Amino acid sequence: MTNKQFNIRKKFIEEWFDFNPVLFFILICVMSFVIVFLKKSFLIDEMAAFEVLEERGEMGLFNMFYSLQYLVVPIFYGWKLTLTAFLLWVGCFMFGYKLTFKELWKLVLLLEIWFFIPEILKVLWFLVVDTDPNYWDVRAFYPLSIINFFDYENLHNRWHYALKALNIFEFVYWFLIVYGIYFLSGKKLSYSYAIVFSSYVLFFLIWIVYYLVSYR
């Protein structure tokens, strides 16, 4: 690692990585709550089908189930971040990297901010570009994902999740983790690639294949 890289690493650890993980986790959840609220207020409520339900007085049940997302958010993030950190910790252990689970959990917590970009772009897309979507248009759309190359209405439902999961933001996330581990460890970049692609990325691809095979 050159002096310049060493200084960048030091700055990353001192200025970007010295944060309270509990407060940051709460911030992530609050940001997710805001995204859910925006989708509900500006997309779902404006759809013609839901306006009909509102007129019939049948919207209450849907609102109740939609509101459950607010309760699920902390559980989802807790599970996702813990699993991701664990996979990376196992990868580091296999390659002899002495990074603690707490360090890796903080890293994936910090990088979770990245995934708010596609969520914001999704809201903007339906507010500015496709201004008259139906519910399934919103469900099937994910910015810069492979599913956008297909007509989702002609795809079997099993492919929807997989093709949305394979997107530019996910691919970039892999490299963000690589460089995060690289800066935290101060070791060779090539080993950081090996750690991430033999743990998190491998598990991610296995999960996609398992989902496709087991879908009923």
DSSP assignment of 42-91: IIITTSHHHHHHHHHT-HHHHHHHHHHHHHHHHHHHHHHHHHHHHHHHHH
Least confident segment among 24-28, 64-68, 77-81, 204-208: 64-68
Q: For position 55, what pLDDT does the model report? A: 45
For 170-216, write each residue's pLDDT tens digit. 999 999 999 999 988 888 899 999 999 999 999 999 999 999 999 87
DSSP state of 40: I
Tens-digit pLDDT profile for residues 37-65? 888 777 766 554 444 444 444 445 555 56
Q: What is the rounded CA–CA span in Å between residue 82 and residue 208? A: 19
Over residues 129-154, the mean pLDDT reads 85
Give residue limits of the domains in the chain. Answer: 3-214
User: What percent of the chain lies above the pLDDT cut of 70?
Assistant: 85
Q: Report, as an integer, the average pLDDT of 14-43.
A: 86
Q: Determine if the pTM surpasses 0.85.
A: yes
The residues with which 11 forms a beta bridge, in sequence order, are: none
Residues 212, 159 contacting (CB under 8 angstroms): yes
Q: What would the pLDDT profile of 142-176 be if each residue is shown by its tens digit?
A: 999 999 888 888 888 889 999 999 999 999 999 99
pLDDT at 64: 58
